[in-house]
Amino acid sequence: MHVQIISLLKEIQPHFTELQVTDESEYWETENKSLLQESLDNYFDAEEKAKTENPKLSGPFRLKNGRIIDLMEDG
């Protein structure tokens, strides 16, 4: 999905005076799929570590409005 979104943004980029994209995986800048996969793996590892360290954390959750919350602490 990430690759497809970046592809779409690059396709429409010429239609904007300025299009700023912040991509923590650096795929926007590099189009390096290995770097993207490493970034995703690191994210999921950190999420699992956080859940292990704090058993009250769980997630991800999708809200009714479509927004996704990565981790949330049970009350």
Residue 14 corresponds to which amino acid?
A: P
For 39-69, what is each residue's pLDDT tens digit? 999 999 999 999 999 999 998 888 899 888 8
For 11-47, what is each residue's pLDDT tens digit? 999 999 999 999 999 999 999 999 999 999 999 999 9
**C-alpha to C-alpha distances, 8 to 3, 22, 25, 39, 53, nearest whole angstrom:** 9, 15, 17, 20, 38
* Rounded Cα–Cα distance for residues 56 and 7 (Å): 38
- Partnered with residue 72 across adjacent β-strands are 58
Q: What confidence score (pLDDT) does residue 75 get?
A: 65
